[in-house]
Amino acid sequence: MSEKTQMDSGLKGLRIDRTQRRGKNTGPKWARRWIITGIIILLLLGGAASFFKMVNKATEVEIFRVSANIGGSGSEAGVVLNAAGYIVAHHKIQLTSKVIGKVAWIGVEKGNLVKSGQVLVRLEDAEYRAQVEDSKGNLASLQAQLKELEAGFRPEEISRASAELDQAKADLQFAGVNYDRIKNLQNEGVLPKQEYDNAETRLQSAKARAAALTRSLELYQLGPRKEQIEAVQGRVEQAKGILALRQTYLDSTLIRAPITGTILERAVEVGEFVTTSFVGERGAKGYVVSMADLNDLQVELDISQDDFAKLSMGQKAMVTTDAFPDRKYEGEIAELSPEANRQKATVQVKVQILKPDSWLRPEMNARAAFQAKEIPESEKKSSAPAILVPASAIRDQSGKKTIFIVFNGKAVEKAVKLGGSTVNGVEVAEGLVGGEEIVLNPPQELKDGSRIAPKKQG
């Protein structure tokens, strides 16, 4: 048998015998149709039931029971503004050196508490110490000169000058007698003119010497001139100034804490060079440590210009931090910036923390709730109990404030009128009477009449 014949035979074997199939299908057509229809109906009913169950499933929500505060708005003053910012040290100090030099010793680490006047860093001081010694020697020399001038000449020096003057007078007298004798002899023609000239010269020299010694004796008796003493006094004062300056440089090699506070940063190490001039990112350092008094802390806030009118100097505020939200600190506005930030459209405000503690750290995130001014007791009026609810329970839709009340397992949306805000919540002036259960953080899909169930804890 050829290969083609075998292929034809195989293809014939794969064909379906339709006549045989019709013969075996002896059931009625209507039965099959009813079975298919029943299956479809069952599927539709099951889907409808699931859909109905899904639609009517209760939404789990967080429920809060409202209470009425008999004391009006509470002991806390009403909050007029909440703002976020950072804790900063009121006065942060970058401690620099007055002189240049290498660090020989540093005795603090970051976080150390130091006292005012405590030595923090010591620079090499050999050069400054030598300059001080040089200035001390120069001052001592000038002071000795001044003392000599102020004391005047000694009696022995005056006596010597007087004796020299007496000797000069005697020489002058002898020269005068000799001059007269030679003059007479010369007039008689006994002596030549040369002898006469020599005698006259000796006489004039003796007169000049006697006059000079007379003046010297007078100066000895008068003492040094006032101008001479004052000149030396000026040089002494100049030497004292140079010594004081160099002593200041020497003392400045010991860098001390200017206040009692905490070390925030240690900027140098032993062997590094400290300078007083411009510094770059590398090389000499411009300061040695930074420090601050952590008992003097403020909260730095950027307040929108739209809200700035709500604040004033001395206004009270309650400060909390993200790190320790359960701890509250009293504060008051201590600084209002004299100019606004044009780019941010804000004004910087600083709130002084009145009683800070060791939990607070500079650069922590912080929030300040600014309180309204307290109303004097004489101006307060009796009012109905205040209803306070968490702000998360209020839904705001196009300016309409509503709250979902829990009633028979359903959420009933009710319009409310709000009062002021406090640190304990938002006051509801109209719409609630107290004792209701309300929904916190209502989901966006929650509608009036939706079935709800309390959210399971954990």
HSE at residue 373, side-chain half, CA atoms within 13 A, is 8
Q: What's CA 330's distance to the chain center, in Å?
A: 21
Burial environment of residue 182 by CB neighbours within 10 A (0 to 12, 13 to 18, 19 or more): buried
Kindly state the helix (H) or strand (E) to which residue 266 belongs, with its residue range.
strand 261-266
- What pLDDT shows up at residue 80? 84
Q: Residue 202 CB: number of other CB atoms within 10 A?
A: 18
Angle at 51 between CA 48 and CA 55, to 5 degrees: 140
Angle at 388 between CA 387 and CA 392, to 5 degrees: 135
- Secondary structure in 3-state letters for 76-108: CCCEEEEEEEEEEECCEEEECCCCCEEEEEECC
In the DSSP assignment, the letter for residue 132 is: H
3-state helix, strand, coil in the chain (%, to 5): 35, 30, 35
- What pLDDT shows up at residue 295? 93
Tokens of 174: 């002898």
Query: How far apart, in whole angstroms, are the C-alpha atoms of residue 130 and residue 128?
Result: 5
3-state secondary structure of 341: strand
Query: How far apart, in whole angstroms, are the C-alpha atoms of residue 319 and residue 321?
Result: 7
Beta bridge partners of 375: none
Close Cβ partners of 336 (under 8 Å, ≥ 6 residues apart) = 311, 312, 313, 347, 349
- Closest by CA to 305, choosing from 77, 79, 86, 83, is 83
Amino acid 197 reads D
Tell me how far CA of residue 233 lies from CA of 91, 140, 238, in angstroms.
Answer: 45, 12, 9
- The model's pTM is 0.53
Query: How far apart, in whole angstroms, are the C-alpha atoms of residue 430 and residue 407?
Result: 19
Chain position carrying tokens 């590398």: 282
Query: How far apart, in whole angstroms, are the C-alpha atoms of residue 291 and residue 260?
Result: 9
- What pLDDT shows up at residue 21? 47
- What pLDDT shows up at residue 135? 95
Q: What is the per-residue pLDDT across 349-379, written as a single tens digit (0 to 9) for each? A: 999 999 999 899 999 999 999 988 765 555 5
Q: Residue 213 CB: number of other CB atoms within 10 A?
A: 19
Query: How far apart, in whole angstroms, are the C-alpha atoms of residue 120 and residue 352?
Result: 29
- What pLDDT shows up at residue 13? 52
Furthest C-alpha separation in the chain = 204
HSE at residue 50, side-chain half, CA atoms within 13 A, is 6
- Closest by CA to 272, choosing from 406, 97, 426, is 97
Give pLDDT < 50 ranges for the chain: 1-4, 7, 10-11, 14, 16, 19-26, 70-77, 380, 382-383
Q: What's CA 181's distance to the chain center, in Å?
A: 103
